[in-house]
Amino acid sequence: MGTAARVAGAVVVTLVLGAGGYAAADAYDVVPGLVTLEPEPAPPAPFPAVPGAVPAPEVTPVVATLDPSAPVPPAPEVTALAQALVADARMGASTGVVVQDVLTGEVLADLGGAAPRVPASTAKLLTGLAAMTALGPDRTLPTTVVQPEPGRLVLVGGGDMMLGAGAGVPDAVSGRAGLVDLAAQTARALRLAGVAEVTLGLDDRLFSGPLLHPEWKPSDVAQGFVAPVAALAVDVAKMREGEYPPRWPDPALQAAETFAAALAAQGIAVTGAPVRQEAPAGALEVGRVESAPVREIVRYAVQVSDNAITEVLGRLVAVEHGLPASFEGATAAVLAELGRQGLDTQGAVLRDCSGLSALSALPPSLLVGLVAAAADPANPQLLPVLLDLPVAGWQGTLADRFEEGPAEGLVRAKTGSLPGVTSLAGTIQTSGGRLLAFAVLADATPPGGQPGPRAAVDAFVQQVVGLA
């Protein structure tokens, strides 16, 4: 064999051996290729599918249903107790009493229930219910800053009279929205636009009419029992800490001045003093803070019996109904809203929304009808009005009443007090487990203040609670 033939043969053998070696290497996954000795992989898992609709779980009620087997107190016994209360010298010459079984609607006592009497702060029940139904429990009240043009700001009130002067407190009712937060938002927007100096306007036109009701006693205002009603204020216009401190005469303007100081602390110079001016429609919004929800505001108003905040709620109901947000518009709107909810408002006269005016007059039967409607499982949207009432011996204006005896913890009610007026309306749960709606209005109590008539009313309630 020649040299050339030997070389060619060697090359062929080399190629064959090389090919065989590569195939072997491929089989063992040493080099890339199609051959492998690894086991066949398992098929991939299917792509996750969206689960189909499934039936919703059973809804668990958060409030126990009323027990129809609980004994109803005998009407003659309840009426006898009511008659004794009306005849009690501590109650004076004009007392109306109504007691009604919530579950059946049976009236167990009715002494002068259709005759309108001065309600005092039990009128807040009407305003609270109207606010809950007209506005909704989740509505919040905005306080905004708009910029009509570079260098000009307008602070716009949305009805929040419980603004905080500092940063907002997320779990508070009074002070949920803070002017420091609003100033920080505004300053950030201004710095981005290269603006360091502004003028500040105030738009509080949401509310109209006088800030103080002409029928409110000057002494009530001077003693801090009520604040001038405005579309915005810091801490319900209190000039200092305390339950009934003096109030700023112009709460909205004072809030604007507080906001101007907060802006300055953020490095934005405010030239001149804040002045009232209209915020043009469509002006650029540069800051916004929101109040606590309406349900929490209503709870606050009835728990501490805050007159100014209740008046604010009435005005917001008026705005919702397209009426002027004044004393006249608010009272008309509240009664109209109650009518929409099926309550009989015949004979009802509201001069204000808080009950501070001594010229308001409500039939006790209207208050009982409202309480019974709020307790009716068919009206779940009204239930918070009842659940958020002060509880006997525990909360709000009932914290220091019914601290002993069977009524402790079993009565939810709104109090009412004016010179010569003592009232109480809410629910009683008897010792036998029956839920009753009741109202007591006395508007000609004798001199001596609240201790006498309150003691008589409390004794009556304790006796009703004890009925089986």
284 forms bridges with which residues in the sheet?
147
Q: 36-66: per-residue pLDDT in tens?
A: 555 666 676 665 555 555 565 654 444 557 7
Residues 148-174: what's their mean pLDDT? Answer: 97
Q: What are phi and psi of 289, to 5 degrees?
A: -130, 155
Residues 174-197: what's their mean pLDDT? Answer: 97
C-alpha count within 13 angstroms, C-beta hemisphere, residue 452? 15
C-alpha count within 13 angstroms, C-beta hemisphere, residue 146? 16
For the beta carbon of residue 195, count every other beta carbon within 10 angstroms: 18
Whole-model pTM?
0.85
Q: Is 94 a catalytic residue?
A: no
Q: 208-257: per-residue pLDDT in tens?
A: 999 999 999 999 999 999 999 999 999 999 999 888 999 999 999 999 99
Greater confidence (387 vs 364) lies with 364
Residues 82-99: what's their mean pLDDT? Answer: 98
Same fold, 75-136+297-465 and 142-292: no
Which one of 124, 238, 360, 414 is the catalytic residue? Answer: 124
Q: Is 417 a catalytic residue?
A: no
Residue 205: the pLDDT is 97
Residue 56: the pLDDT is 58
Residues 280-305: what's their mean pLDDT? Answer: 96
| Residue 11, helix vs strand vs coil | helix
At the top level of CATH, the class of 75-136+297-465 is: alpha beta
The architecture (CATH level 2) of 142-292 comes to 3-Layer(bba) Sandwich (3.50)
Q: What are phi and psi of 335, to 5 degrees?
A: -65, -40
Residue 377: the pLDDT is 83
2 has a pLDDT exceeding 60: no
11 has a pLDDT exceeding 50: no
Greater confidence (278 vs 385) lies with 278
Spell out the domain ranges in the chain. 75-136+297-465, 142-292
Which one of 174, 291, 305, 354 is the catalytic residue? Answer: 305
Q: 94-125: per-residue pLDDT in tens?
A: 999 999 999 999 999 999 999 999 999 999 99
Which one of 121, 357, 360, 423 is the catalytic residue? Answer: 121
Q: Is 121 a catalytic residue?
A: yes
